[in-house]
Structure 1
Amino acid sequence: MVIGLTVKVPLSWTSHPFFRSKVKLEQQVQIEMIKGLDVEFVYVIDGHDLLPEIEETIEENLVQEEQVKEIDYRPLAKKSMRVSQQRFVKAVNDSRTVFGKVLSDPEGAYREAATLVEDLVENLYESETPHLTLVGSGEADVSVTQHGISVAVLSMMIAHALSLTKKEIRDIALGSLFHDIGKLKVPEDIRRKRGELTDVEANFLKMHPNFGYDMLKRTGLFPEAMLDIVLHHHEFIDGSGFPHQLTEDKIVITTQVVSLANDYEILLNQYRTPQVALGILFKNHSKKHSDKLISVLVKILGIYPPGTVVRLTDDTIAKVMMTTSDVKQPHVWSCDATGAEPSFRFLLSEDVQVKEVIKLDELSEGAVKTLQANNPISFYFNHFNHQENQ
């Protein structure tokens, strides 16, 4: 498949993230998403065959893959993910400390938040090609601070891909950390309610951006760009957001970035399946965000985002742990159908790829336990690159 072709996906429209089965390929991200579907072919409706032009590139890639297979990178990859996990836990703990000081010691909270932001920025820029890795706090539910760190990481990755300035990235990081602080003024029984909220409860919860903005504005310490993120992180470019129903021309790019990352994280926490959350975002929320930003997010997450449970071509079950340069060969934690024989696998060094995504209710109890498939999903930066370690 190449850009310029019009193809028909041989699936029901409910089984893919596009509005209809006939798709004109205008962006590389569309091709990558089709490659991630459970289809062996697509129908070419219109366009011309460009395969001869890319044969040479394919041959070069095959040679490179053969070279990669000669080295076992698993220990290095595992070590890099362990470092990411440690950094994430520290960031969540530091964020929790900051939240505890906002009212009693605002200057201390600001200083510690600024230090945390610098740590995040330093982690982002450790290499030119950061990847995402799966991390968690060990808690049963995603806390406000854990959510804030994960949104910050996603937002900073998007901003980095857009080549935003370091000042803008710092504002994005700081705004992401504090974007939900206003929820601390919402009663816990509303915040943690499992069932549907009443209209009164829902409207009260929607006040959290105003609560957070007022709380931070009163300190006189935080920059306006960061405060705008806190106040408007639920605004969408089509005017359907809150609290002010802003449209695209009224929402600055830094706030748009955090709005998208936050929207995806909310869907992720709701469905606990990264690829399903991405598909819903692409299908049902595409008017809420700019096409450019969604395209960048999809490229960062890959068609199998960290946390996705998949079946491999050797029929083992696996959970994606980290994205790689090859969308169909991420780093995974795998087991057999019963949950036995667990192992970390570096698919780039194997003749194995992702075959399909598996629904959680299709897993055995043993596989769910081994893969920790029901655990909350968060993200952090990772800079392991097998090509740089050759």
Structure 2
Amino acid sequence: MNERRFDKDELRIGMFVMLDLPWLSHPFLTNSFKIRNQHQINILRQLDLETIRVDLDRSDPFWAQDQSDSPAADALADEAGGQAFTSKLWSEKHTRIQQLKERRARLNQCAKCYLQKANLARSIMSHLRSAPAQAAEEAVELVGGMVDELTEDPETTVQLVNLKHRDENSYNHAVNVSALALVLGREFDLDQAQLRLLGMGALFHDLGHLKIPSQILMKKGPLTEAERRFYQQHPRYGAEIARQIGTLPAGVIEIIVKHHEHMDGSGFPEGLSARDLGLLTRILTVVNRYDNLCNGFGSERDLSPHQAISRMYSKERQWYDPKVLTTFITHLGVYPPGTVVRLNDGRIAVVTSINTEDLLKPNVLVYSEEIPAEEALILNLIEEEIGIRESLKISELTQAQIEYLNLSDKLSYYFQGQRHGRVR
């Protein structure tokens, strides 16, 4: 870093300054930023600093030509305007702090809701053999609750937490896929009956795993050819179990048996193609693959949300209904919430929500040693004119960064709300 200290009266527009002060002792959103107007200079001159560090490499090359003592600068820096500007900065800063508190509250509530859903799924699976009618009834209750909650909360629609469990199991995957499928289904204006079918199919889609040995399901490396052929029968096994239950609708069984089929005929177990796959199955195929890539058991697992989306779009696009995949990406984002990223300026952040105006510039919560975690900064990358350099895996972070960004065994999905319209 090409760094140099300047007296406060030497500050000019275009300099990139770095403040050696606690975050709450000044009104600026960050401790490091480029000076953009005379009001900022006036505030900087009032701070309890003798000199201010400036990163010359990140400063505008023309800053030295700026004349802050010009008549235009004097007019801009009138006292009344300066006070209003300072008040605006403090107001925005406190608003950001409040947004963070509200986000944390939502995450906590979401965590409780998610655990309830996972426990219900566990109960349902445990009753499948001994009390299939009871299991089906509990499934209707679980899915019905999820449909109602999604309908009542069109802005956030679904939040899933604790996806990176130390004791990963199929219950978490079932809840993840159910919620993702319901949200995506809602974007296609499915009615309540269709949503319930979709949710039930999503909940039971991996029913056939009950007949697959755990050493195959949990294997970290690639499957042998024999293991792969055995595993590829699980949709058939799941449909057989579903029929034995006797109370699951035909539409649910269809989703179970076809959820690994692809539009181009390359899926399994039957190698079906587009003409054989209904919309509900097409939705389930996309969300199931996404969650498997992020949180699955096999060799293709533990991708970041961005890496999963990128893989599905760039390498597997022919597998999916193009409208379903596009809608999924549009509402989840190129950098889905929960993605850890490195910004162009080197800072580490986690995506909190997408910007529909520019999917490459979401809103992010930034890691900073200078700002307390409970007051962490949320930035709109469109407003800040900052881009994302790369996505990161949580395993690439330090423990301090994981705890600060609230990523300890946690990952969140947020979807855009109803105001952005539906797919017709």
Q: TM-score range by the shorter chain?
A: 0.7 to 0.9
Tell me the alpha carbon deviations over residues 299-345 of structure 1, each in whole angstroms, 9 at most, x when there is no partner. 1211211221113466431222444656424253x323x79853444
| Gap change, CA 1:331 and 1:134, over 3 Å in 2 | farther
Letter in 2 for 1:274: P
Contact 2:114 2:160 (C-alpha < 8 Å) held by counterparts: no
Of residues 139, 149, 164 in structure 2, which corresponds to 1:113?
A: 139
Answer yes or no: is the 8 Å Cα contact 2:117–2:175 preserved in 1.
yes
Distance 1:349 1:283, change over 3 A: closer
Separation in structure 1 between the aligned mates of residue 340 and residue 370 of structure 2, nearest angstrom: 13
Aligned residue among 221, 224, 235 for 1:209: 235
For the Cα contact (< 8 Å) 1:311–1:357, is it kept in 2? Answer: yes
1: distance between equivalents of 2:212 and 2:176?
21
Match of 2:115 among 89, 114, 130: 89
- Assess, with a 3 A threshold, how the Cα gap between structure 1 residues 268 and 75 changes in structure 2: closer, same or farther: same
Describe how 1:253-292 pairs up with structure 2 within 5 A. 253-269=279-295, 270-292=301-323
1:355 Cα deviation after fit: 3.1
Whether the aligned pair in 2 keeps the contact of 1:158 and 1:257 (CA below 8 Å) is yes
Once residues 370 and 76 of structure 1 are traced to their aligned partners in structure 2, the CA distance between those partners, rounded to angstroms, is 16
Q: What is the alpha-carbon distance in structure 2 between the residues aligned to residue 212 and residue 150 of structure 1?
A: 19
The aligned amino acid for 1:280 is R
Distance 2:105 2:229 in 1: 45
Question: Where do 1:344-383 residues align within 5 Å?
Answer: 344-348=376-380, 352=384, 355-360=388-393, 363-364=397-398, 366-368=400-402, 370-371=404-405, 375=409, 377=411, 379=413
Residues 339, 108 of structure 1: CA spacing in aligned structure 2 closer, same or farther, 3 A cutoff? farther
Residues in 2 aligned to 1:313 and 1:131: alpha-carbon distance in whole angstroms? 31
**Gaps (5+ residues) in structure 2?**
1-88, 296-300, 420-424
Name the structure 2 match of 1:32.
none
Q: Is the 8 A contact 1:155 1:258 kept in 2?
A: yes
Moved over 6 A (4+): 380-385
The answer on 1:245 being equivalent to 2:271 is: yes
Residue in 2 that maps onto 1:77: 103
Counterpart-to-counterpart distance in 2, 1:117 and 1:215: 19
Highest Rg: 1 or 2? 2
**d(CA) in 2 for partners of 1:297, 1:163:** 14
Alignment partners' CA distance in 1, 2:113 and 2:203: 15
CA shift, 1:83, in A, is: 1.7
Q: Which residue identity lines up with residue 124 of structure 2 in the other structure?
A: V
Q: 1:298 is matched with which residue?
A: 329
Cα distance, 1:75–1:364 mapped onto 2, change above 3 Å: closer
Q: 1:13 is matched with which residue?
A: none
Q: Aligned equivalents of 2:110 and 2:410: distance in 1?
A: 16
1:167 and 2:193 matched = yes
CA 1:91–1:268: 2 relative to 1, 3 Å? same
Alignment partner of 2:317: what SS? Answer: coil
Partner in structure 1 of residue 33 of structure 2: none
Taking only aligned residues, the RMSD between alpha carbons, in angstroms, comes to 3.1
- Larger RCO (CA under 8 A, 6+ residues apart): 1
Give the equivalent residue in structure 1 for 2:363: 330
Aligned counterparts, 1:216-231, within 5 A: 216-231=242-257
The one-character-per-residue Cα deviations of 1:78-104 (angstroms, maximum 9, x if unpaired) are 222222221111101100100000110
Listed as ranges, the matches of 1:138-149 within 5 Å are 139-140=165-166, 142-149=168-175
Q: Report the 3-state secondary structure (helix = DSSP H, G, I; strand = E; otherwise coil) of the residue aligned with 1:347.
A: strand
Q: 1 CA distance for matches of 2:322 and 2:370?
A: 40
Over 3 Å counting, the alpha-carbon distance change for 1:374 and 1:249 in structure 2 is: farther
166 and 115 in structure 1: CA distance in 2 versus 1, 3 angstrom threshold:
same
> Does the 8 Å contact 1:142/1:376 carry over to 2?
no
1:130 to 1:284, Cα distance in 2 relative to 1, 3 A: same
Q: In the alignment, which residue of structure 1 is the partner of 2:176? A: 150
Tell me the TM-score normalised to structure 1 length: 0.73
User: Matches of 1:122 and 1:382 in 2, distance apart?
Assistant: 17
Partners of 1:329 and 1:228 lie apart in 2 by 37
Identity, in percent, stands at 26
Deviations 1:114-167 (A, max 9, x none): 100111101111133345545115622531111111111111111111112221
Aligned residues: 318
Q: Distance in 2 between matches of 1:91 and 1:178?
A: 14
Q: Distance in 1 between matches of 2:281 and 2:197?
A: 9
Unaligned runs of 5+ in 1: 1-65, 386-390
Tell me what 2:221 maps to.
195
1:365 CA drift (Å): 5.1
Q: In the alignment, what sits opposite 2:349? A: 318
- 1:359 maps to a residue whose letter is L
Aligned partners of 2:215, 2:323: CA distance in 1, in Å?
38
Amino acid at match of 1:278: I
Aligned pair in 2 of structure 1 residues 195, 99: CA closer, same or farther (>3 Å)? Answer: same
Shift of the 345–181 alpha-carbon distance from structure 1 to 2, 3 Å rule, reads farther
1:48 aligned partner: none
Letter of the structure 2 residue corresponding to residue 367 of structure 1: Q
Verify the 8 A CA contact 2:337 2:414 in the aligned structure 1: no
Return the alpha-carbon distance in structure 1 between the equivalents of residues 370 and 267 of structure 2.
43
